Structures are given as structure tokens and as C-alpha cells.
Amino acid sequence: MSEPLRIAIAGLGTVGAGIVKIVQQHGALLAARAGRSVEIVAISARSRTKDRGVDLAAYAWEDDPVALARRDDVDLLIEVMGGEDGPAKACVETALQNGKHVVTANKAMLAIHGQEMAIQAERAGVALRYEAAVAGGIPIVKALTEGLAANGITRVMGVMNGTCNYILTVMEETGASYNDVLKDAQDLGYAEADPAADVGGFDAAHKLSLLAATAFGAQVRFDNVVIEGIERITLADIENAADMGYRIKLLGVARMAQDGLEQRMQPCLVPAASPLGQLEGVSNMVVVEGDHVGQTVYQGPGAGEGPTASAVMADVVDIARGLVMPVFGQPADTLARPNASSAGSDARYYLRFSLSDQPGVLAELASILGRHDVSINRMRQYDHDGQAAPLVIVTHATGRPALDLALAEISALSACLAAPVALRIES
């Protein structure tokens, strides 16, 4: 393999510029580790004139990323434009059709189109790699497909969105409200002007669907992920959790249940002393449980120029070495198409209610929970202003379908002043 690996980059934002920096700074190191040189030959982005802090003069320019993907002098396309459809999808599909390897950081695209793209890549005999699409600089895809290949995976879970982890961490540390900390995160560049994808859980749910497919030999089923964001988490919830020895995290969990694949991305209480409970700021963490290895933990920066570009180049080096493997760890035509688990696993739940202060309300609430076989482990009523009475209940382990029926009935009570908050307690 003495011939250089010729790469093209579609997208020159933060990550694309970071890739150029790595190739320019570490060309000799990459060649030594890959067994051949890695050379950028062409690039594409929206603007030719924008200053990106790197010298691009030596590279051919294409205004159209699809034309970039067709070039005869390109062996591998790096796609870091983003977007589940449009130019990103078009240039990746064109590259695969033309027998070129692809490395992408595009979680949304793969979460929606991953199965058909995997089939296309494997039929063409080329690699489609996506380490940078999941948890930034953490090499979790490589861990699942290589380091843990001898294990049947029993559960994957983790904190996969640094913005949400930052918001929840700062709320706890400072006592500031969700809205105030969100604005701070936007000012610092941790959250977008429109933060819905992050705080709504969708960004992290894309990542979870890719990890679940890789861990459980399944087709990507983003449409089956149960998604709940952190928008309704209050400082009171964080304080109540801390009183019980927990912290609140936007937690993704995937496991294969008897009735299908369980995939959840939602705020959960986790033990404060656990690795997930101790995770601070914008970091990500993924926990993988295998039947032979037990529990393994992976932590690191989940986004940013350096970590994401590093993950992209790790895939590039593997391809330069000649490693071409199935996209999701096993041939795409062998991946199962599992149903979504309708019940999920039982768990304890933290419940918060806002009730009117009148006789008989607590008894009626307890009666409704009991009729749905939701057993109360402990209950605490907090001081109130004589009108809205805050109430916190922790249940014994119960199924979410039964709990949802009970909460719907409670929500319909005239004494229920706001929609109840239900947070799973994850061990």
C-alpha cells in the first residue's frame, strides 16, 4: 500500500477545518501509523473566500459536493456538512456509487438512512465509517465493533449530549433556573440559537440509535426511540434528587427486551456516586455491558473541532491500513429489524405533582396509583403557599405503561394543577 490515500472534504466548518489542521500538522505521523501517506486533494464548502484559519491553496475546489464525490482523483470522501438529507446525503450516495470510501460525522443522516447506505457501501466493497457521529472523541464505535466483538451486549447507556449535561450541571452548582442557564450556554456557544435538537433530546437520540444498531446487530430504528428532553426539569427536581443521593442526567439507554429493542433518551435519576452521576460539564460518557467483559466505561469530549476531527481521522487511518468492515459490525443483510419494546424494563420512578391544597387529594392520588399497581416507596410533601402543594413520590419498580395510565388519570383531576413529572431511576 505505497500509494497515498487521496481524500476529499465536503464541509469546511469547525470540524472540516480541524481535519485539515490534523493532516497538515501530523502528515508524517499519519503515514507512519497508516503505512501510507494521507493526502487532501480536493475540498468543497459554501464559500471560497471565508477565512477558516488554515491554508487551503494547495487543494482543488468544487462548488458542488456531488461533483467532489465524483472526482477520479479521490479515494475517500469525508462528509462533515451535516443534515439528514440534501447535499450531505447526495454526496455520500454519489461517493458510494462511484466506489469511494466514506467517513462521516453525520449522525442525523445515518440515523434515518443508515441501513440503505450500509447496504450500498457493502455491495460496492467500500467502507462507510462514522466514529465521529457518536460521542465525539470517544472511540465507542470501535470499542463495540472490535474490542467487545466477542461479547453479547446486554445494555448500552450514556450521556451523549454535552449541552444538556452542562445545563443540568450548572443548575445544580449555581441554583440558577433552566432558562437562565440555557441562555448562558447559548452565549458560550455550547447551545445553538435554536436549541431544540439538543435540549429536546433529538441529537442524543440519533447517536443512541446508531449505538443500538451496532451493539445489538439490528437495523437503525431512530423512529423507535422514546425521546424526552430536559425542558421540564426544574431546580426543585435537581434538589430533590440530590436529597435522595441522585443526580439528573439526560440518559440514553438501549437493551434488547423479550418483546423488542428498548431505546430511550430521557432525563433519569442516576446514583450520584456512579461514573454517570459524577460526569460534569460538556463531557460525554458511554457505559457498555457485555456478557463476558462485564461493565466498561468510556468518557471524553463529545463535540468540538479537535475531538470530532480526531475521530474522523481515526476512521481515515483504519481505511488507509486496508480495514474495510461491515458498517454496523456485521453484514447489513444480516441485521435484524426489531420491533420497539412496548413495555420496556421495570424501574422505580421519581414523580412530582403540583396539587391544590384540599382534603382528600392525597388519598385519591394514592388510590389511583394503587389501582394501576403502582406501589409507593416513599412520599414527601413540601411547604407550600396555601394553594399549590408540591408532592414528590418515589415508586417501587413498575412498568411505564401502567404508570402512564395512572398519571393520565391523575392529570385529569381538578386538583392537579400541572402535568406530573415522571423521571426514571436508572441503576
Mean pLDDT on 102-115: 97
| pLDDT given at position 386 | 62
Is 207 tagged catalytic? yes
Taking only Cα atoms into account, the Rg of the chain, rounded to an integer number of angstroms, comes to: 24
The answer for residues whose C-beta is within 8 angstroms of residue 204's C-beta and 6 or more apart is 160, 161, 164, 198, 250, 252, 265
Q: What are phi and psi for residue 129, nearest 5 degrees? A: -115, 150
Superfamily of domain 140-301: Dihydrodipicolinate Reductase; domain 2 (3.30.360.10)
Mean pLDDT for the chain overall? 93
Residue 167 confidence (pLDDT):
93
Please tell me the distance from the alpha carbon of residue 326 to that of residue 122, in angstroms, as a whole number. Answer: 7
Top-confidence residue, 339 or 272: 272
Share of the chain above pLDDT 70, in %: 99
The topology (CATH level 3) of 5-133 is Rossmann fold (3.40.50)
Domain locations along the chain: 5-133, 140-301, 348-425
CA angle 160, 295, 345 (to 5 degrees): 70
Q: Which of the four pLDDT bands, split at 50, 70 and 90, describes residue 385? A: low
User: Long-range contacts for 243-249 (Cβ within 8 Å, ≥24 apart)?
Assistant: 244/269, 244/350, 244/394, 245/271, 245/272, 245/273, 246/270, 246/271, 246/272, 246/277, 246/350, 246/425, 247/168, 247/172, 247/272, 247/277, 248/168, 248/423, 249/159, 249/165, 249/168, 249/276, 249/277, 249/279
**Are 5-133 and 140-301 in the same CATH fold?**
no
Q: Residue 97's pLDDT is what?
A: 97
| Whether pLDDT at 1 is above 60 | no
Q: Is the pLDDT of residue 306 over 70?
A: yes
| Domain topology for 348-425 | Alpha-Beta Plaits (3.30.70)
Dihedral sign for Cα atoms in the order 295, 271, 264, 93: negative
Task: Dump pLDDT digits (tens) for 341-364.
Answer: 877 789 999 999 999 888 888 899
Question: Among residues 89, 100, 207, 249, which one is catalytic?
Answer: 207
pLDDT tens, position by position, 4-59: 999 999 999 989 999 999 999 999 999 999 999 999 999 999 988 898 899 999 99
Residue 73: the pLDDT is 97
User: Which band of pLDDT confidence, cut at 50, 70 and 90, is reported for residue 384?
Assistant: low
Lowest mean per-residue pLDDT among 180-189, 219-228, 267-276, 303-312 = 180-189
Residue 2 has pLDDT above 90, yes or no: no
